[in-house]
Amino acid sequence: KEKEYEKIKDLEVEIDCLCKQINRNSIANPYTNVTTSMLHEQWKMLQELADQRRKESEEEKKRQLASDQVRKLFIQLATELNGWLEQTQGRLNNVGLGEASLEEQVELLNNLDVELEAQRPKLGELEDCHQQLQDAYEDLDLPVSMATLRSVWNQLSTGLKYTRNEIENQILTRDSKGLSKTQLDDLRRCFNHFDKDHTGRLECPEFKACLVSIGHSIVAEDKKQRKTS
């Protein structure tokens, strides 16, 4: 089309020269009502539309590239954070399984809490990335979803608080009852033995078995309760 337009412009120049030779301002074309001025105007309009379309295409390409970069960043950060959360959850589950004292366990939990808070900016960055991705894509297909990260984060945060509160209560009980470290260690080993799924909690049958193993007579207690009632 560019070559055809250039030919029309060349013909226009020839016609102007011819008009000057015969002392005419212009020569009417009996075969068409289209004038060169109309062609110039339409060509200009097409050029402007083409430039606008080209600009829009370039902007869309930049937007897609930027969105892809955000998606890659989200996947990288989400994978890293999810792995760290799972690893830290494992460390939390193992807090009461070692030989550490109750005070040492509390200190360990405090350190885990500090480490968790240190990861919070990364969680915030992921929230920002996720919002951008939601604005850019109708369907997000991600290896680790933002909902999963929030859930694991809240579970770990709640678990830290719960476990620390439990251990602090154990310290208060120990100090008020005057239990020795050996007695506490025996209780802990017994508890861990019956805590098969490592949840830090015992169901009623497990709890009764734990009490029996440390010398409590559940049958005698039940008889006493029935007599009282």
CATH code, domain with 109: 1.20.58.60
Report the distance separating Cα 40 and Cα 24, nearest Å. 22
The pLDDT of residue 3: 80
Same domain, 155 and 52: no
Q: Is residue 227 part of a domain?
A: no
Q: What are 118-165's pLDDT values in tens digits?
A: 999 999 999 999 999 988 887 778 888 999 999 999 999 999 999 899
Same domain, 81 and 38: no
Domain that holds residue 35: 1-57
Whether the Cβ atoms of residue 142 and residue 126 lie closer than 8 Å to each other: no
User: What's the predicted TM-score (pTM) here?
Assistant: 0.63
Count of domains for the chain: 3
Q: Is residue 120 part of a domain?
A: yes
Write down the H helix ranges in the chain: 2-21, 36-93, 102-118, 120-136, 146-177, 181-194, 204-213, 218-228
Q: Is residue 229 part of a domain?
A: no
Same domain, 133 and 116: yes
The pLDDT of residue 13: 75
pLDDT value at 31 more than 90: no
Nearest to 169 by CA among 184, 155, 182: 184
Same domain, 14 and 97: no
Could you identify the residue written with the tokens 């007695």?
183
For residue 210, give the amino acid letter: C
Q: Is residue 131 part of a domain?
A: yes
For residue 112, give the amino acid letter: L
Taking residues 25-44, report their average pLDDT. 73
Same domain, 186 and 170: no
